[in-house]
Structure 1
Amino acid sequence: MPPLDPSPTAAPDPGPLRRDLVAGLEKGLAVICAFDQEQERPLLSVTELAQRCGLTRAAARRYLITLQHLGFVRCERGRWALTAKVLRLAQSYMHSGRLPRLVQPELHRLVATLKEASSAGVLEGDDVICIAALSAGHLVSSTLQPGTRVPAYCTANGRVLLAALPEAQLEAWLSGRALPPLTPQTITDPARLRTELARIRAQGYALVDQELETGLRTLSVPLVSADGAVLAAINVSAHAARRSLESLLEHCLPALRQTQANLRRQL
């Protein structure tokens, strides 16, 4: 594939007028999303939710009561948690979204060919959200499943998507951003990350060696539409004990690029 061309710089989208937005829906969704910020503590108090969402305690309580009435949250001894009904929101996207429906069959072919796990993701804020994933029968990482979020700066899918951003947008993304070391090999220096993203842009793929998790190696290419827009990224993930970096490039990159080409005709 030719080098990645960052999307052309466009005038900033001013967005909708505030009067056209439904504030209650916006805040209700913010309450649901607040539970995603700290997975180690699935139970949150009204005060904690109010702080996370920028609401008064009274307002946060009303949103929680409404969501409880609708079946999306439950209360346990004064603390709140999401219910399984929230999964219906994700299922609606997975079943009706055009991108995951097109990607999933290609993942099956890719995994059957390489006998390695594969996933596709899109950039959202700091993270990459997995929209489709398939294992090859052996556990590589718990992050390789639909709906999981991983940091963009230290993952192959994330770096491919960051490399495709217009320069000004990339600089805004990197500005003042913390890059904590998740393993001893994680790139944490912004200048070094900029250099790596420029290299990815030039070569058209990203190869990440044990920066998210020790033992996890990942190779990724962008999913590009027929008009040249980068819509998502797709990867192959393997344990370091199973695949060397050279093996990923020699054996997996051609298959990834074939999948990329197959999808480009459909996107």
Structure 2
Amino acid sequence: MDEETVSRDHVGSLERGLGVMEILARHPAGLTLTEMADEAGLTRAGARRFLLTLVATGYATQSARVFSLSPRLLTVARTWLGGASLWTFAAPIMRAVAGELNEACSAAILSGEDVVYVARIPGRRILSVSLDVGTRLPAYCTSMGRMLLAGLGPEDLEAFLSRATIEKRTARTITDRRLLAGAIGKARTDGFAIVDEELELGLRSIAVPIRDRSGSTVAAINVSTQSARFSVVEMEREILPALLGARQRIEDFFVV
């Protein structure tokens, strides 16, 4: 699709309205009209129209001066997830991995600069990071993110690296864009990615890609663990084989 067609078909008001919903999602306690206008970069009149439209359609509620998202959005999300038959198929496979290793096994897709969790089997051990289906994490400092970025074409990856917000989450986070490109390239060559305490100190994870019949990366699955439980070498030796086996069984979905 050429740029002229994209521009002609682009609905700016819908984009801004979705942006308002995303801002509300980041503030579960709700926002006032003034707070929304400031955060969204809208006039008070513009923010008011978007917020009242969300209230009228049932996607938001208003209590005095505060607006917040309503449970209706969860219904939409559940409907979408319910139709994602790949993850219904994959859940027992991921559960077997989690049970074998006593660690969490998750799946995610790429969405803008983030990964979005589409399936998660919790481990028996508690991690300080709270994760569930729908959770968004930065792609640049997560194992599934690195693996998903490794599946992008050169131009798309270059665009990501040029625009992404890259911040130090820990002292170990790679923030140099050249070094980050190298880490993503290594993940592409190796066929797996290990992220060592870059998202949070004490947290390590290892991920592999899920590819469809055309060879395109459509998702990634990972195992996350406490650094005290597995060294990086042990993750590659003990966790990677279980992930690769699960990856193969999940990819079989695309050929049945």
Using the size of structure 2 for normalisation, the TM-score is 0.89
Aligned positions of 1:31-50 closer than 5 A:
31-36=20-25, 38-39=26-27, 42-50=29-37
Identity %: 37
Q: Give the helix-richer structure, 1 or 2.
A: 2
In the alignment, does 2:231 pair up with 1:255? no
What is aligned with 2:147? 160
Instruction: Return the letter of the residue paired with 2:59.
Output: F
Q: Which of these residues, 167, 192, 197, is aligned with residue 210 of structure 1?
A: 197
Q: Residue 65 in 1 paired to residue 48 in 2? A: no
3-state SS, counterpart of residue 219 of structure 2: strand
* Alignment equivalent of 1:238, drawn from 215, 221, 225: 225
Q: Aligned-pair distance for 1:168?
A: 1.1
Aligned residue pair count: 254
The secondary structure found in structure 1 opposite 2:253 is coil
Question: CA offsets, 1:178-236, max 9 Å, x none?
Answer: 42110111111111111111111110000011100111100000001122010000000
Show structure 1 runs of 5+ residues with no match: 1-11
2:61 to 74, 96, 103: 74
Query: How far, CA to CA, are the matches of 1:185 and 1:53 in structure 2?
Result: 32
Taking the aligned partners of 1:125 and 1:78, their CA distance within structure 2 comes to 32
Q: Does 1:136 align with 2:123?
A: yes
Name the CA shift for 1:208/1:49 in 2 (closer, same or farther; >3 Å): same
Higher relative contact order (CA 8 A, sep 6+): 1
Shift of the alpha carbon at 1:165?
Answer: 0.7
Larger displacement relative to structure 2 (45-54 or 210-219): 45-54
Q: Choose which of 23, 26, 30 in structure 1 pairs with 2:19.
A: 30
After superposition, the Cα gap between the structure-2 partners of 1:20 and 1:172, relative to the gap in structure 1 and judged at 3 Å, is closer
Unaligned runs of 5+ in 2: none
Q: How does 1:91-102 map to 2 (within 5 A)?
A: 91-102=78-89
For the pair 1:111 / 2:98, whether they are aligned, the reply is: yes
Structure 2 CA distance for aligned equivalents of residues 103 and 59 of structure 1: 43
Aligned to 2:188: 201
Q: Secondary structure at the match of 1:175?
A: helix
Work out the CA distance in 2 between the residues paired with 1:118 and 1:79.
38
C-alpha deviation, 1:98, in angstroms: 2.9
Determine if contact 1:107/1:118 at 8 Å carries over to the other structure: yes
Q: Is the 8 A contact 1:160 1:201 kept in 2?
A: yes
Match of 1:169 among 125, 132, 156: 156
Task: Quote the Cα distance in structure 1 between the aligned partners of 2:46 and 2:7.
Answer: 20
Is the contact made by 1:183 and 1:212 (CA closer than 8 Å) also made in structure 2? yes
Q: Given the superposition, is the C-alpha separation of residues 86 and 140 from structure 1 closer, same or farther in structure 2, using an over 3 Å criterion?
A: same
